Structure 1
Amino acid sequence: MSNRASLVKQAEGHGAAEWLRERVSSLVLVVFTAWALWAAYSVAGQPFDAVVAWLSSPLNAGVLLAALIISLWHMHMGMVVIIEDYLQGAARKACIRLSLAFCLALGAAALICTFMLATGAGPATPGA
């Protein structure tokens, strides 16, 4: 069996599930983007305290975090597709792991910052 044929055989069986996950996350992100546009419009021009009060709502904080997490997951899936298309061997595995680490770090930072703003913990006041 040629090298090309073995690559094709290796890819069988997992492409459809990845394709479906990418499409589902895209559809979910359409809804979250509409919510984000509405949220940005509703807090635009408001003072900092009003924005923090808006974010203190568990619903708003939860939807914001869900949108961020799904966006990061979607970004990682897209990066994996690009990495798999252009890299081989150890470089491919290393870049996929770096992409995952980057997305996890961004997700952790988003979680911490959202929690701090929503609960009023930490130095979240302007000029402090």
Structure 2
Amino acid sequence: MTLNDISTLESIDDLTAQQLQQILVHNYGSIAGCVEKSELISKVKLLYHDEKQKKESNAKISKEDPNENLCKVCLAANIDCVVLNCGHLCTCIRYGEQLSNCPICRCAITSVVRVFKS
């Protein structure tokens, strides 16, 4: 039994202690310190919740526009600077330094700072 076999959070309460241990060993590698079934249930529920959040986050990432990170001026280079005072991340450093107004909100650009996305 794995986390993927669990359909709802409530169904975890119906699992046997052996099934709960199996899930924990598969995901943690160890169940040291878990003696009571209630402890096993709470740990599996935490795992289920974390896995659900991870899946939702991955779904959001896959839905992102592939052009979202492209410079809004040249549409070729990646966005790698922030324009100040407005704070928009919208251009590559090459064009950011050439502009006098932000291409998004048209406010005057006082400076351009290179940023690094991890």
Which structure: greater helix fraction?
A: 1
TM-score, with length taken from structure 2: 0.33
TM-score, with length taken from structure 1: 0.30
Which structure: greater strand fraction?
A: 2
- Bigger-Rg structure (1/2): 2
Question: Which has the higher relative contact order, 1 or 2, with Cα contacts under 8 A spaced 6 or more apart?
Answer: 1
